[in-house]
């Protein structure tokens, strides 16, 4: 089927009468041309690495630590909530990988034993652990090394293995984005199912050859077939399917956030959430990791660490953090989910296993997890909003280019008092979102007994919500900025 040349984006509606971002002037063009964003972020990454290694090794005065641990994390969560997985769209690592593949052809399939999300989820836990153990937020050189290491790991994996193995099964940031994008208000999907029904080439999946009017376009390396795709899991918003479709039948369309968490439909390349224990593990780490990461920055954690150290008779920070992380990411979730699943199972037909019940309902806690991440990272981002300006001015001056002016070190951001209502609002929205999704899951899993099946999980969500409110009310370290008192 010859590919139709796609002209400039124009205003239009998405399937079902919603908004299609690809038809919005300027924004649609930028989304279609991901290379623009990738080149921009590659340049930013290069600057961060150079300044991280060669600039001042005081975290608040270095672009690497400030941009990565304050601004990037805040912008990432904000982007997920407002648009979707656009940071994966503009990932500079993929630009470097595609450049490498001009000279190196991957020859191996990703090992079957390592497929799925479990390796990446374990790496995500490792990142959270390493962040606390080695204080990456306070070391510009270590942060720059992490950036270089991330590029090296991606190039090694995708230089050896076919497809998008790094994105799908290795990248911890990508898995964080996939989990959070369940609450994104947009998804990639077909405009008209009838057009897809008449398609025989399946170019969105397999790619399209070059034609006199258009260059060759690869299909989805994540294995997502647009007509049967469901939700945002594994979707990097790369827009390869958009460029490959000969009928311009793919939209970045608005939708009801979180619907994929409750519907449990079988989607291309992903399957059903209820049938994927690795996706349930991802949801668990996403939710409880949000609370653990925030807990690591409030003063009560230090008293608890001293108690653990005394009980163990050790001065090893790694051992103390190991006990803390095991408690927060293994023992606590197993106990809480186990009790909720036991109480919920009694109302469900067929009395499914506790693990099956927990694996299904844990996805209903994801909205609350998004609220906690957004409140936590939003706090650091908003209170340190303008701190990057004087650091950029200083970095430019150090290179002999004072075009940004003298550093204005007094710049900060919103006050903690101003940010606190925003934090509370984000937590409240996450809690309400979880209650809605949990109710829908209960209605689907236990027809006629939805209230009894859902109640234990609503209680659990409320307990986690209360814990998050308590955490955000504690004095929190302003890591990486001069605001840290």
Positive or negative, the CA dihedral 68, 71, 73, 79 is negative
Q: Exposed, middle or buried: residue 414 (CB in 10 Å: 0-12, 13-18, 19+)?
A: middle
**Span 408-418, pLDDT tens digits:** 998 999 999 99
- Specify the pLDDT at position 314: 96
Average pLDDT score over residue span 369-389: 96
- Specify the pLDDT at position 371: 98
- Specify the pLDDT at position 484: 53
- Specify the pLDDT at position 45: 98
- Specify the pLDDT at position 3: 47
- Specify the pLDDT at position 13: 54
Instruction: Give the whole-number percent of the chain exceeding pLDDT 70.
Output: 95
* Biggest CA-to-CA distance, the chain: 73
**Span 260-302, pLDDT tens digits:** 999 889 999 999 998 999 999 999 999 999 999 999 999 899 9
**Span 92-121, pLDDT tens digits:** 999 999 999 999 999 999 999 999 999 999
Reference 456, options 341, 287, 285; nearest CA is 341
- Specify the pLDDT at position 284: 98
Average pLDDT score over residue span 28-33: 91
Say which residue the tokens 């951001």 belong to. 413
- Specify the pLDDT at position 403: 77
What's the pLDDT band for 10 if we cut at 50, 70, 90? very low
- Specify the pLDDT at position 475: 87
Alpha-carbon radius of gyration of the chain: 23
Q: Are 174 and 88 in contact (CB under 8 A)?
A: yes
**Span 153-211, pLDDT tens digits:** 999 999 999 999 999 999 999 999 999 999 999 999 999 999 999 999 999 999 999 88
Residue 247 pLDDT > 70 = yes
Helix (H, G, I), strand (E, B) or coil at 145: helix
Residue 17 pLDDT > 80 = no
What's the pLDDT band for 4 if we cut at 50, 70, 90? very low
State how far the Cα of 63 lies from the Cα of 269, in Å rounded to an integer: 38
Residue 460 pLDDT > 50 = yes
pLDDT, averaged across the chain: 93
State how far the Cα of 34 lies from the Cα of 103, in Å rounded to an integer: 22
Residue 21 pLDDT > 50 = yes
- Specify the pLDDT at position 430: 98
What's the pLDDT band for 482 if we cut at 50, 70, 90? low
Say which residue the tokens 């408690």 belong to. 327
DSSP state letters, 159-197: HHBSTTHIIIII-HHHHHHHHHGGG-SEEEEES-HHHHH
State how far the Cα of 328 lies from the Cα of 291, in Å rounded to an integer: 8
- Specify the pLDDT at position 144: 98
Backbone region of residue 225 per phi and psi (left: phi > 0; alpha: psi in -120 to 50; beta: other values)? beta
Reference 214, options 229, 205, 223, 203; nearest CA is 203
Q: Are 344 and 457 in contact (CB under 8 A)?
A: yes
Q: Are 133 and 322 in contact (CB under 8 A)?
A: no
Average pLDDT score over residue span 3-26: 65
- Specify the pLDDT at position 11: 45
- Specify the pLDDT at position 9: 38
| pTM higher than 0.85 | yes
The percent helix, strand, coil of the chain (3-state, each to 5) is: 65, 5, 30
Average pLDDT score over residue span 301-319: 96
Residue 288: phi and psi, rounded to 5, are -75, -25
Average pLDDT score over residue span 209-233: 92
What's the pLDDT band for 404 if we cut at 50, 70, 90? confident
Structure token digits, residue 185: 């208000």
Instruction: Give the whole-number percent of the chain exceeding pLDDT 90.
Output: 86
- Specify the pLDDT at position 481: 66
Distances (CA, A) of 236 to 84, 86, 93, 167, 272: 9, 7, 13, 8, 19
**Span 68-88, pLDDT tens digits:** 999 999 999 999 999 999 999
Residue 365 pLDDT > 60 = yes
Q: Are 15 and 192 in contact (CB under 8 A)?
A: yes
- Specify the pLDDT at position 18: 83
- Specify the pLDDT at position 444: 93
Structure token digits, residue 340: 């909720």
Which one has a higher pLDDT value, 355 or 485?
355
Long-range contacts of 100-107, Cβ-Cβ distance < 8 Å, separation of 24 or more? 100/155, 100/158, 100/159, 101/158, 101/159, 104/159, 106/158, 106/159, 106/160, 106/161, 106/162, 107/160, 107/162
Which one has a higher pLDDT value, 402 or 56?
56
Average pLDDT score over residue span 358-364: 97
Q: Are 122 and 173 in contact (CB under 8 A)?
A: no
């Amino acid at each position: 089927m010859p590919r139709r040349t796609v002209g400039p984006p124009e205003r239009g509606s998405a399937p079902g009468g919603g908004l299609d971002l690809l038809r919005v002037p300027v924004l649609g063009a930028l989304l279609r041309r991901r290379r623009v964003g990738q080149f921009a972020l590659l340049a930013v990454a290069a600057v961060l690495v150079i300044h991280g290694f060669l600039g001042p090794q005081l975290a608040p005065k270095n672009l690497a630590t400030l941009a990565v641990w304050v601004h990037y994390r805040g912008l990432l969560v904000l982007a997920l909530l407002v648009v979707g997985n656009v940071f994966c769209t503009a990932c500079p690592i993929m630009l470097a990988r595609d450049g490498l593949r001009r000279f190196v052809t991957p020859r191996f399939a990703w090992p079957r034993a390592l497929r799925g999300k479990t390796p990446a989820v374990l790496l995500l836990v490792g990142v959270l652990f390493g962040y606390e153990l080695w204080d990456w937020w306070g070391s510009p050189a270590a942060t720059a090394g992490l950036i270089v290491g991330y590029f090296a790991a991606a190039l090694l994996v995708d230089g050896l293995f076919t497809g998008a193995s790094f994105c799908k099964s290795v990248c911890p940031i990508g898995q964080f984005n996939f989990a959070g994008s369940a609450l994104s208000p947009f998804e990639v999907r077909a405009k008209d199912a009838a057009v897809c029904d008449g398609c025989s080439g399946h170019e969105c999946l397999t790619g399209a050859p070059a034609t006199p009017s258009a260059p060759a376009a690869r299909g989805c390396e994540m294995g997502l077939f647009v007509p049967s795709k469901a939700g945002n899991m594994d979707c990097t918003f790369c827009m390869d399917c958009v460029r490959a479709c000969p009928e311009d039948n793919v939209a970045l369309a608005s939708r009801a956030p979180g619907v994929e968490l409750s519907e449990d439909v079988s989607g291309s390349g992903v399957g059903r959430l209820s049938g994927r224990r690795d996706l349930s593990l991802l949801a668990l780490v996403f939710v409880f990791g949000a609370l653990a990461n925030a807990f690591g920055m409030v003063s009560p954690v230090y008293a608890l660490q001293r108690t653990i150290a005394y009980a163990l008779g050790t001065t090893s920070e790694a051992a103390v953090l190991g006990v803390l992380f095991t408690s927060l990411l293994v023992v606590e979730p197993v106990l809480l989910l186990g009790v909720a699943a036991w109480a919920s199972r009694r109302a469900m037909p067929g009395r499914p296993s506790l693990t099956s019940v927990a694996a299904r309902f844990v996805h209903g806690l994801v909205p609350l997890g998004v609220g906690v991440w957004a409140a936590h990272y939003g706090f650091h981002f908003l209170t340190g909003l303008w701190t990057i300006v004087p650091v950029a001015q200083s970095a430019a001056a150090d290179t002999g280019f004072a075009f940004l002016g003298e550093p204005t070190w007094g710049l900060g951001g919103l006050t903690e008092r101003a940010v606190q209502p925003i934090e509370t609002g984000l937590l409240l929205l996450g809690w309400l979102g979880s209650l809605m999704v949990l109710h829908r899951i209960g209605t689907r899993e236990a027809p006629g007994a939805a209230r009894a099946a859902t109640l234990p999980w609503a209680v659990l969500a409320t307990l986690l919500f209360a814990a998050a409110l308590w955490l955000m009310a504690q004095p929190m370290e302003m890591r990486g900025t001069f605001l840290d008192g």
